[in-house]
């Protein structure tokens, strides 16, 4: 068996009046992530981790933010397409571990639903998907609620 590890990172600006989708969950908040797709920072970081592990470049290479077909698309679809890309190279996902960094809203109540959304999208158990959240202790652009960041690592195997 061959295994590889991937790392993903994503950041999105937060703007008043925008929807805030994280892990496929619509969060109630006065600000939301701004981007070409639904700007789901968590799923974008996971996609980058998976693509990187399989040596398939990054999310921007496959789903360009200048391509109208991806405008406003659910990042759940981007994740599903990413899984197809790595599967075409013979890889399957072992596990995913992700971290969100934002001041508000509180993420912990939504983590089980995020895990279920991701598990359903990629066909694996919620037991293999870890999501954590932290704040930036009111420092920097995250602390001022100007942006949201996500990190992810994954293990893939062949």
Annotated binding site for a divalent metal cation: 10, 12, 44
Beta partners for residue 39, in sequence order = none
Closest by alpha carbon to 115, among 101, 104, 126, 105? 126
Q: What is the 3-state secondary structure (H, E, C) of 90-124?
A: CCEEEEEEEEEECCCCCCHHHHHHHHHHHHHHHCC
pLDDT the model gives residue 121: 96
pLDDT the model gives residue 65: 87
As a whole number of angstroms, the distance between CA 88 and CA 105 comes to 37
Annotated binding site: 10-12, 36-37, 44, 58-60, 63-67, 134-137, 141, 144
Contacts of 132 (CB under 8 A, 6+ apart): 97, 98, 99, 100
Give the domains, in start order, of the chain with CATH numbers: 3-157 (3.30.1330.50)
pLDDT the model gives residue 73: 92
* CB neighbours of residue 19 within 10 Å: 15
As a whole number of angstroms, the distance between CA 146 and CA 158 comes to 40
- If you ran DSSP here, which 8-state letter would residue 64 be given? -
Spatial contact of 20 and 150, defined as CB atoms under 8 Å apart = no
Structure tokens at 26: 């619509």
Torsions phi, psi for 60 (to 5 deg): -65, -30
pLDDT the model gives residue 97: 98
pLDDT the model gives residue 86: 98
10-residue block means of pLDDT along the chain (158 residues)?
97 96 97 94 98 97 89 94 98 98 96 98 97 97 97 98
């Amino acid at each position: 068996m061959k295994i590889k590890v991937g790392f993903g990172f994503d950041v999105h600006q937060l703007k008043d009046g925008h929807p805030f989708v994280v892990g496929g969950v619509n969060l109630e908040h006065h600000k939301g992530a701004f981007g070409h797709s639904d700007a789901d920072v968590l799923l974008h970081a996971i996609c980058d981790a998976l693509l990187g592990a399989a040596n398939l470049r990054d999310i921007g290479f496959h789903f360009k933010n200048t391509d109208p077909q991806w405008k406003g698309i659910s990042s759940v679809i981007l994740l599903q397409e990413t899984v197809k890309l790595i599967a075409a190279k013979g890889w399957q996902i072992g596990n995913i571990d992700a971290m969100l960094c934002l001041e508000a809203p509180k993420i912990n109540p939504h983590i089980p639903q995020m895990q279920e959304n991701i598990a359903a999208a990629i066909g694996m158990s919620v037991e293999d998907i870890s999501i954590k959240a932290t704040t930036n202790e009111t420092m920097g652009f995250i602390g001022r609620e100007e942006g949201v960041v996500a990190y992810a690592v994954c293990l893939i195997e062949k």
